[in-house]
Structure 1
Amino acid sequence: MEADAPLDCAHFLLTPTRTRCELVVSSGDQTEKLASGLLQPFSSHIKAVNEEIDKGGCSIKLEPSGDDAASWFTKGTMERFVRFVSTPEVLERVDSVDNELSQLEETLSRHNDGSVMQNSSAGEQENSNLQLLKALEARRAILQKEKSMAFARAEAAGFSAKNTSDLMRFAQQFGASRLR
Protein backbone atom coordinates (compact mmCIF):
# COMPACT_ATOMS: atom_id res chain seq x y z
CA MET A 1 0.00 0.00 0.00
CA GLU A 2 1.40 3.41 -0.98
CA ALA A 3 1.77 6.19 1.59
CA ASP A 4 -0.74 8.40 -0.24
CA ALA A 5 -3.37 5.64 -0.43
CA PRO A 6 -6.68 6.92 0.95
CA LEU A 7 -7.88 4.77 3.83
CA ASP A 8 -11.34 3.41 4.43
CA CYS A 9 -10.61 3.01 8.13
CA ALA A 10 -8.02 2.24 10.77
CA HIS A 11 -8.51 -0.40 13.46
CA PHE A 12 -6.90 -0.75 16.85
CA LEU A 13 -7.15 -4.49 17.51
CA LEU A 14 -6.93 -5.01 21.26
CA THR A 15 -5.51 -7.95 23.17
CA PRO A 16 -7.83 -9.63 25.72
CA THR A 17 -6.14 -7.67 28.52
CA ARG A 18 -6.86 -4.43 26.59
CA THR A 19 -3.36 -3.13 27.31
CA ARG A 20 -1.76 -3.85 23.93
CA CYS A 21 -2.93 -3.32 20.38
CA GLU A 22 -2.15 -3.64 16.71
CA LEU A 23 -2.92 -0.71 14.42
CA VAL A 24 -4.23 -1.99 11.10
CA VAL A 25 -5.24 0.22 8.16
CA SER A 26 -7.55 -0.70 5.29
CA SER A 27 -7.83 0.70 1.80
CA GLY A 28 -10.18 -1.08 -0.56
CA ASP A 29 -9.31 -4.77 -0.39
CA GLN A 30 -5.85 -4.15 1.10
CA THR A 31 -5.07 -4.35 4.81
CA GLU A 32 -1.75 -3.57 6.43
CA LYS A 33 -0.44 -3.58 10.00
CA LEU A 34 1.26 -0.26 10.78
CA ALA A 35 2.18 -0.67 14.42
CA SER A 36 1.82 -2.79 17.50
CA GLY A 37 2.52 -2.17 21.14
CA LEU A 38 0.99 -0.69 24.24
CA LEU A 39 -2.46 0.84 23.84
CA GLN A 40 -1.86 3.62 26.38
CA PRO A 41 0.30 5.88 24.17
CA PHE A 42 -2.39 5.85 21.49
CA SER A 43 -5.27 6.28 23.93
CA SER A 44 -3.54 9.22 25.61
CA HIS A 45 -3.43 11.02 22.26
CA ILE A 46 -6.83 10.22 20.72
CA LYS A 47 -10.09 11.07 22.47
CA ALA A 48 -12.03 8.78 20.11
CA VAL A 49 -9.95 5.78 21.23
CA ASN A 50 -10.64 6.54 24.90
CA GLU A 51 -14.36 6.81 24.23
CA GLU A 52 -14.38 3.43 22.51
CA ILE A 53 -12.29 1.79 25.26
CA ASP A 54 -14.93 2.85 27.79
CA LYS A 55 -17.59 1.07 25.70
CA GLY A 56 -15.69 -2.22 25.80
CA GLY A 57 -15.00 -4.47 22.85
CA CYS A 58 -11.87 -5.83 21.26
CA SER A 59 -11.56 -3.45 18.32
CA ILE A 60 -11.62 0.31 17.92
CA LYS A 61 -12.43 1.63 14.48
CA LEU A 62 -11.40 5.08 13.28
CA GLU A 63 -13.42 6.12 10.28
CA PRO A 64 -13.47 9.74 9.13
CA SER A 65 -16.60 11.58 8.17
CA GLY A 66 -16.81 14.15 5.41
CA ASP A 67 -16.27 14.19 1.68
CA ASP A 68 -12.67 15.41 1.86
CA ALA A 69 -11.38 12.54 4.03
CA ALA A 70 -9.65 10.89 1.06
CA SER A 71 -7.30 13.86 0.81
CA TRP A 72 -5.94 13.59 4.36
CA PHE A 73 -6.91 10.18 5.83
CA THR A 74 -4.10 8.23 4.20
CA LYS A 75 -1.60 5.58 5.17
CA GLY A 76 1.05 8.32 5.33
CA THR A 77 -1.02 10.36 7.79
CA MET A 78 -1.43 7.30 10.02
CA GLU A 79 2.32 6.56 9.80
CA ARG A 80 3.10 10.13 10.86
CA PHE A 81 0.59 9.84 13.70
CA VAL A 82 2.37 6.69 14.92
CA ARG A 83 5.67 8.60 14.68
CA PHE A 84 4.15 11.48 16.65
CA VAL A 85 2.93 9.10 19.37
CA SER A 86 6.49 7.75 19.63
CA THR A 87 8.18 11.17 19.68
CA PRO A 88 5.68 13.95 20.41
CA GLU A 89 8.45 16.30 21.51
CA VAL A 90 9.55 16.83 17.89
CA LEU A 91 6.40 18.73 16.92
CA GLU A 92 5.77 20.11 20.40
CA ARG A 93 9.20 21.79 20.34
CA VAL A 94 8.35 23.53 17.07
CA ASP A 95 5.12 24.77 18.62
CA SER A 96 6.67 25.96 21.90
CA VAL A 97 9.51 27.84 20.15
CA ASP A 98 7.04 29.40 17.73
CA ASN A 99 4.77 30.51 20.60
CA GLU A 100 7.66 32.01 22.56
CA LEU A 101 8.93 33.80 19.46
CA SER A 102 5.46 35.24 18.79
CA GLN A 103 5.18 36.53 22.36
CA LEU A 104 8.66 38.03 22.19
CA GLU A 105 7.94 39.78 18.89
CA GLU A 106 4.71 41.17 20.34
CA THR A 107 6.67 42.50 23.33
CA LEU A 108 9.28 44.04 21.04
CA SER A 109 6.57 45.64 18.95
CA ARG A 110 4.92 47.17 22.02
CA HIS A 111 8.30 48.33 23.31
CA ASN A 112 9.16 49.97 19.99
CA ASP A 113 5.74 51.64 19.95
CA GLY A 114 6.46 53.07 23.38
CA SER A 115 3.45 51.50 25.08
CA VAL A 116 5.47 49.31 27.46
CA MET A 117 7.96 51.91 28.64
CA GLN A 118 7.45 55.58 28.06
CA ASN A 119 10.32 57.74 26.93
CA SER A 120 12.07 59.39 29.80
CA SER A 121 14.61 62.16 29.87
CA ALA A 122 16.51 60.38 32.62
CA GLY A 123 19.67 58.80 31.20
CA GLU A 124 19.50 55.83 33.54
CA GLN A 125 15.99 54.94 32.35
CA GLU A 126 17.03 55.19 28.68
CA ASN A 127 20.08 53.01 29.34
CA SER A 128 17.88 50.44 31.06
CA ASN A 129 15.46 50.49 28.12
CA LEU A 130 18.32 50.01 25.66
CA GLN A 131 19.69 47.08 27.65
CA LEU A 132 16.26 45.48 27.74
CA LEU A 133 15.82 45.99 24.00
CA LYS A 134 19.23 44.44 23.30
CA ALA A 135 18.43 41.45 25.51
CA LEU A 136 15.08 40.95 23.78
CA GLU A 137 16.71 41.19 20.34
CA ALA A 138 19.38 38.67 21.38
CA ARG A 139 16.70 36.27 22.63
CA ARG A 140 14.79 36.69 19.37
CA ALA A 141 17.91 35.80 17.36
CA ILE A 142 18.45 32.69 19.49
CA LEU A 143 14.79 31.66 19.14
CA GLN A 144 14.90 32.11 15.37
CA LYS A 145 17.87 29.74 15.22
CA GLU A 146 16.10 27.29 17.55
CA LYS A 147 13.00 27.49 15.36
CA SER A 148 15.05 26.66 12.27
CA MET A 149 16.63 23.70 14.07
CA ALA A 150 13.24 22.50 15.36
CA PHE A 151 11.78 22.70 11.85
CA ALA A 152 14.78 20.79 10.47
CA ARG A 153 14.32 18.06 13.11
CA ALA A 154 10.61 17.84 12.32
CA GLU A 155 11.35 17.64 8.59
CA ALA A 156 13.95 14.92 9.20
CA ALA A 157 11.35 13.00 11.22
CA GLY A 158 8.97 13.13 8.26
CA PHE A 159 6.80 16.09 9.23
CA SER A 160 6.45 18.65 6.43
CA ALA A 161 4.07 21.61 6.18
CA LYS A 162 1.65 19.70 3.93
CA ASN A 163 1.52 16.47 5.89
CA THR A 164 1.39 18.34 9.19
CA SER A 165 -1.82 20.01 7.99
CA ASP A 166 -3.16 16.50 7.29
CA LEU A 167 -2.25 15.57 10.87
CA MET A 168 -4.15 18.64 12.11
CA ARG A 169 -7.24 17.47 10.24
CA PHE A 170 -6.75 14.01 11.76
CA ALA A 171 -6.51 15.67 15.19
CA GLN A 172 -9.74 17.60 14.66
CA GLN A 173 -11.61 14.54 13.40
CA PHE A 174 -10.57 12.15 16.17
CA GLY A 175 -9.84 14.48 19.11
CA ALA A 176 -6.05 14.24 19.18
CA SER A 177 -5.59 17.35 21.30
CA ARG A 178 -1.77 17.17 21.64
CA LEU A 179 -1.50 17.52 17.85
CA ARG A 180 -3.48 20.74 17.67
Structure 2
Amino acid sequence: MWVFGFGSLVWNPGFPYAEARVATLAGYARRFCVHTHDHRGTWQCPGLVLGLVPAGGEVCRGMGFRVAPGREAEAQAYLDRRELGDSVYERAWLPVEVGGREETALTYVANPEHPRCRLDFSVREAAAIIQRATGPSGPNTEYVARTREGLLAIGVREPHLEALAEQLGLPADA
Protein backbone atom coordinates (compact mmCIF):
# COMPACT_ATOMS: atom_id res chain seq x y z
CA MET A 1 0.00 0.00 0.00
CA TRP A 2 1.22 3.50 -0.87
CA VAL A 3 0.31 6.74 0.94
CA PHE A 4 0.61 10.16 -0.71
CA GLY A 5 1.72 13.01 1.54
CA PHE A 6 1.45 16.63 0.43
CA GLY A 7 1.67 18.64 3.68
CA SER A 8 2.72 17.63 7.16
CA LEU A 9 3.00 13.98 6.10
CA VAL A 10 6.01 15.03 4.00
CA TRP A 11 8.00 15.84 7.16
CA ASN A 12 6.03 13.96 9.82
CA PRO A 13 4.42 10.81 8.44
CA GLY A 14 3.87 9.32 11.91
CA PHE A 15 3.42 5.75 10.69
CA PRO A 16 5.90 2.99 9.89
CA TYR A 17 6.83 2.75 6.22
CA ALA A 18 9.23 0.61 4.22
CA GLU A 19 10.11 3.14 1.52
CA ALA A 20 9.74 6.87 0.87
CA ARG A 21 10.03 8.48 -2.57
CA VAL A 22 9.05 11.70 -4.26
CA ALA A 23 5.62 11.19 -5.82
CA THR A 24 3.46 13.14 -8.25
CA LEU A 25 -0.33 13.43 -8.32
CA ALA A 26 -1.92 14.94 -11.44
CA GLY A 27 -5.14 16.98 -11.33
CA TYR A 28 -4.76 18.23 -7.76
CA ALA A 29 -3.14 21.22 -6.05
CA ARG A 30 -1.86 21.90 -2.54
CA ARG A 31 -3.53 25.02 -1.03
CA PHE A 32 -3.76 26.69 2.37
CA CYS A 33 -7.54 26.41 2.52
CA VAL A 34 -8.60 24.45 5.61
CA HIS A 35 -9.45 26.17 8.92
CA THR A 36 -8.15 24.00 11.73
CA HIS A 37 -9.00 23.95 15.40
CA ASP A 38 -7.42 20.67 16.45
CA HIS A 39 -3.69 20.85 15.68
CA ARG A 40 -2.55 24.35 14.70
CA GLY A 41 -5.40 26.43 16.02
CA THR A 42 -8.35 26.43 18.42
CA TRP A 43 -12.09 26.99 18.12
CA GLN A 44 -11.53 30.54 19.40
CA CYS A 45 -8.65 31.18 16.98
CA PRO A 46 -8.57 28.69 14.10
CA GLY A 47 -5.41 28.17 12.11
CA LEU A 48 -5.01 27.44 8.42
CA VAL A 49 -3.51 24.27 6.99
CA LEU A 50 -3.06 22.68 3.62
CA GLY A 51 -5.72 20.86 1.71
CA LEU A 52 -5.34 18.87 -1.47
CA VAL A 53 -8.02 20.07 -3.87
CA PRO A 54 -9.03 19.11 -7.41
CA ALA A 55 -7.31 21.37 -9.94
CA GLY A 56 -7.44 20.40 -13.59
CA GLY A 57 -4.12 20.75 -15.36
CA GLU A 58 -2.09 21.09 -12.14
CA VAL A 59 0.32 18.62 -10.60
CA CYS A 60 1.13 18.20 -6.91
CA ARG A 61 4.53 16.80 -5.95
CA GLY A 62 4.88 15.30 -2.51
CA MET A 63 6.02 12.08 -0.90
CA GLY A 64 4.92 8.55 -1.56
CA PHE A 65 5.30 6.20 1.38
CA ARG A 66 5.14 2.45 0.81
CA VAL A 67 3.75 0.78 3.90
CA ALA A 68 5.38 -2.50 4.83
CA PRO A 69 3.25 -5.56 4.04
CA GLY A 70 1.15 -6.52 7.03
CA ARG A 71 1.15 -2.94 8.41
CA GLU A 72 -1.48 -1.51 6.04
CA ALA A 73 -4.43 -1.64 8.46
CA GLU A 74 -2.35 -0.05 11.22
CA ALA A 75 -1.17 2.77 8.94
CA GLN A 76 -4.64 3.45 7.56
CA ALA A 77 -6.21 3.46 11.03
CA TYR A 78 -3.60 5.96 12.23
CA LEU A 79 -4.06 8.19 9.18
CA ASP A 80 -7.86 8.04 9.41
CA ARG A 81 -7.66 9.22 13.05
CA ARG A 82 -5.25 11.98 12.08
CA GLU A 83 -6.98 13.19 8.91
CA LEU A 84 -10.70 12.34 9.10
CA GLY A 85 -11.54 13.68 12.55
CA ASP A 86 -13.51 16.71 11.40
CA SER A 87 -14.88 15.68 7.99
CA VAL A 88 -13.04 18.37 5.99
CA TYR A 89 -10.88 15.66 4.43
CA GLU A 90 -12.09 12.60 2.59
CA ARG A 91 -10.18 9.39 2.02
CA ALA A 92 -9.40 8.69 -1.64
CA TRP A 93 -7.37 6.12 -3.55
CA LEU A 94 -5.67 8.02 -6.35
CA PRO A 95 -3.09 7.21 -9.03
CA VAL A 96 0.34 8.68 -8.27
CA GLU A 97 3.63 8.40 -10.10
CA VAL A 98 6.36 7.01 -7.86
CA GLY A 99 9.78 6.02 -9.15
CA GLY A 100 8.63 5.95 -12.77
CA ARG A 101 5.64 3.68 -12.02
CA GLU A 102 1.99 4.39 -11.42
CA GLU A 103 0.75 3.27 -8.03
CA THR A 104 -2.57 3.71 -6.28
CA ALA A 105 -2.07 5.68 -3.08
CA LEU A 106 -4.18 6.38 -0.04
CA THR A 107 -4.68 10.14 -0.14
CA TYR A 108 -6.67 12.61 1.95
CA VAL A 109 -8.42 15.21 -0.20
CA ALA A 110 -10.10 18.37 1.10
CA ASN A 111 -13.81 18.73 0.40
CA PRO A 112 -14.13 22.19 -1.22
CA GLU A 113 -17.83 22.26 -0.23
CA HIS A 114 -17.09 21.91 3.49
CA PRO A 115 -17.77 25.14 5.42
CA ARG A 116 -14.22 25.17 6.84
CA CYS A 117 -12.61 24.87 3.40
CA ARG A 118 -12.14 28.15 1.56
CA LEU A 119 -10.15 28.47 -1.65
CA ASP A 120 -10.14 32.24 -2.11
CA PHE A 121 -7.72 33.43 0.58
CA SER A 122 -5.23 36.06 -0.54
CA VAL A 123 -1.66 35.62 0.67
CA ARG A 124 -2.18 38.51 3.09
CA GLU A 125 -5.41 36.99 4.51
CA ALA A 126 -3.83 33.53 4.89
CA ALA A 127 -0.76 34.99 6.60
CA ALA A 128 -2.91 36.96 9.07
CA ILE A 129 -4.78 33.78 10.09
CA ILE A 130 -1.58 31.73 10.35
CA GLN A 131 0.36 34.40 12.25
CA ARG A 132 -2.07 34.54 15.17
CA ALA A 133 -2.98 30.84 15.50
CA THR A 134 -1.48 28.30 17.88
CA GLY A 135 -2.92 24.91 18.76
CA PRO A 136 -2.03 21.73 20.63
CA SER A 137 0.61 20.86 17.99
CA GLY A 138 2.22 24.28 18.19
CA PRO A 139 2.22 27.57 16.29
CA ASN A 140 0.61 27.63 12.87
CA THR A 141 3.72 29.42 11.55
CA GLU A 142 5.78 26.36 12.52
CA TYR A 143 3.52 24.19 10.33
CA VAL A 144 4.18 26.48 7.37
CA ALA A 145 7.94 26.57 8.00
CA ARG A 146 8.29 22.80 8.48
CA THR A 147 6.14 22.03 5.45
CA ARG A 148 8.15 24.44 3.32
CA GLU A 149 11.43 22.93 4.56
CA GLY A 150 10.16 19.41 3.85
CA LEU A 151 9.09 20.33 0.34
CA LEU A 152 12.32 22.19 -0.41
CA ALA A 153 14.27 19.11 0.75
CA ILE A 154 12.62 17.08 -2.02
CA GLY A 155 13.04 19.81 -4.63
CA VAL A 156 9.54 21.30 -4.50
CA ARG A 157 9.29 25.09 -4.57
CA GLU A 158 5.84 26.58 -5.09
CA PRO A 159 5.26 30.30 -5.72
CA HIS A 160 2.19 30.55 -3.45
CA LEU A 161 4.04 28.90 -0.56
CA GLU A 162 7.08 31.14 -1.09
CA ALA A 163 4.84 34.23 -1.14
CA LEU A 164 3.18 33.10 2.10
CA ALA A 165 6.56 32.42 3.73
CA GLU A 166 7.73 35.90 2.72
CA GLN A 167 4.56 37.49 4.11
CA LEU A 168 5.14 35.60 7.39
CA GLY A 169 8.77 36.73 7.55
CA LEU A 170 10.21 33.21 7.31
CA PRO A 171 13.86 33.01 6.23
CA ALA A 172 14.30 33.02 2.44
CA ASP A 173 16.89 30.25 2.49
CA ALA A 174 14.79 27.79 4.50
TM interval, shorter chain, is under 0.3
Rg comparison, structure with higher value: 1
In proportion to residue count, which structure has more helix? 1
In proportion to residue count, which structure has more strand? 2
TM-score, structure 2 as length reference:
0.24
TM-score, structure 1 as length reference:
0.24
Query: Does 1 or 2 have the higher relative contact order (CA < 8 Å, sep 6+)?
Result: 2
